[in-house]
């Protein structure tokens, strides 16, 4: 399973766009990239998933370059409630699919 | 309920005791996962069920840990002879599994285990 590297922490202010980049140099051909969000005392929650190029949903955008060795989660106009830990994961969606979490990025949004 | 349910939400036990943690997955989800999370760390994979069978138990730390899912729905994580180092939040997740699986895992709120 591909290992991921992401910043330990990031600070931002309300209303700003936040970009969290994740490195996954050993990503395999059949691996997808998935991001989860976790608030204190809660389980992680799925944010977005992609394979290549760009994916956008109502919460975030995910940018994946052609070589797929990194990905960037973009959160537009963050609010205080976006303060959480964000995890980048890679894995194949087959019968042996499982997610391996790293330590994540702690995002702190200030007023 | 519609989500993954875990019981108990909190469990305090003494070193050496036996503990069971229960997970009720989302109805119809064939895949079920157990993770363990220590303070300040990401969730650590323990075991993955596809249906009734443990498809991957490579994350179980030792033979004191065991999990079952006898009917392919509810799962129980069992910890024998608990140690203080077992203190953590134990998270359960389920997913649709099988062909067409998007890979999205739905997590419960966890069971916080404290071993005194």
pLDDT tens for each residue of A17-36: 999 999 999 999 988 999 99
Nearby residues of B66 by Cβ (< 8 Å), 6 or more positions away: B60, B77, B78, B80
Name the pLDDT band for A98 (thresholds 50, 70, 90).
confident
Nearest to B41 among A43, A91, A103 (CB): A103
Spatial distance between the Cα atoms of B108 and A104, rounded to a whole number of angstroms: 19
What pLDDT score does B37 carry?
Answer: 97
pLDDT given at position A3:
84
CA-based nearest residue in chain A for residue B9: A41
For residue B40, the chain A residues in CB contact (below 8 A) are 103
Task: Classify strands A105-110 and A9-13 as parallel, antiparallel or unpaired.
Answer: parallel
pLDDT at A41 over 60: yes
* Closest-approach residue (CA) in chain A for B97: A95
| CA atoms of A73 and B80, how far apart (whole Å) | 41
Instruction: Transcribe B89-107 into DSSP letters.
Output: EEEEEEE--STT-----EE
The yes-or-no verdict on residue A11 having pLDDT over 80 is yes
Is residue B79 pLDDT above 90, yes or no? Answer: yes
Among candidates B60, B44, B37, B59, which has minimal Cα distance to B112? B37
Rounded to an integer, what distance in angstroms lies between the CA atom of residue A13 and that of residue A17? Answer: 9
Say whether the peptide bond before residue B8 is cis (omega within 30 degrees of 0): yes
User: CB distance from B45 to chain A under 8 Å?
Assistant: yes
Confidence of residue A96 (pLDDT cuts 50, 70, 90): low
| DSSP code at position A14 | T
Query: How many angstroms separate the CA atoms of B114 and B8, rounded?
Result: 12
CB neighbours of B102 closer than 8 A, spacing ≥ 6?
Answer: A49, A93, B96
Q: Please check whether residue A8 touches B, CB under 8 A.
A: no
- The answer to whether the peptide bond before residue B80 is cis (omega within 30 degrees of 0) is no
Residue A92 has a pLDDT of 79
Provide the greatest CA pair distance for chain B: 44
Q: How confident is the model at residue B17 (pLDDT cuts 50, 70, 90)?
A: very high
> Which token pair is A107?
């995002």
Task: Provide mean pLDDT across the span A42-59.
Answer: 94
Nearest to A33 by CA among A94, A99, A96, A106: A99
Chain A residue closest in CA terms to B58: A98
Q: Is residue A59 less than 8 Å (CB to CB) from chain B?
A: no
- Asked if the Cβ–Cβ distance from A97 to B101 is below 8 Å, we say yes
What pLDDT does A72 receive? 97
What is the mean predicted confidence (pLDDT) over B90-115? 86
Q: Which residue has the tokens 């990503």?
A: A27
Q: Could you tell me the two tokens for B46?
A: 């323990």
Tell whether B102 is within 8 A of chain A (Cβ).
yes
Candidates A32, A87, A96; nearest CB to B56:
A96
How far is B71 from B23, CA to CA, in rounded Å?
13
Q: Which of B45, B105, B108 is the closest to A46 by Cβ?
A: B105
Size of interface A-B (CB pairs under 8 A): 61
**Among partner residues B41, B45, B98, which is closest to A98 by beta-carbon distance?**
B45
């Amino acid at each position: 399973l591909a290992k991921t590297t992401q910043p330990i922490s990031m600070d931002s202010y309300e209303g700003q766009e936040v970009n969290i980049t994740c490195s996954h140099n050993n990503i395999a051909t059949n691996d997808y990239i998935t991001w989860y969000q976790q608030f204190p005392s809660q389980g992680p929650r799925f944010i977005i998933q992609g394979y290549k190029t760009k994916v956008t949903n109502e919460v975030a955008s995910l940018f994946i370059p052609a070589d797929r060795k990194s990905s960037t989660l973009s959160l537009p106009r963050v609010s205080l409630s976006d303060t959480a830990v964000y995890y980048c994961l890679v894995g194949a969606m087959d019968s042996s699919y499982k997610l391996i979490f790293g330590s994540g990025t702690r995002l702190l949004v200030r007023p | 309920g519609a989500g993954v349910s875990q019981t108990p939400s909190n469990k305090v036990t003494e070193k050496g005791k036996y503990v069971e943690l229960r997970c009720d997955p989302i109805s119809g989800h064939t895949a079920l996962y157990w993770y363990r999370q220590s303070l300040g760390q990401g969730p650590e994979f323990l075991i993955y069920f596809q249906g009734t069978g443990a498809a991957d138990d490579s994350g179980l730390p030792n033979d004191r840990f065991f999990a079952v899912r006898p009917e392919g729905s509810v799962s129980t994580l069992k910890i024998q002879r608990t140690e203080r180092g077992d203190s953590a939040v134990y998270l359960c997740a389920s997913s649709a599994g099988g062909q067409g699986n998007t890979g999205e895992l739905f997590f419960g709120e966890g069971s916080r285990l404290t071993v005194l």
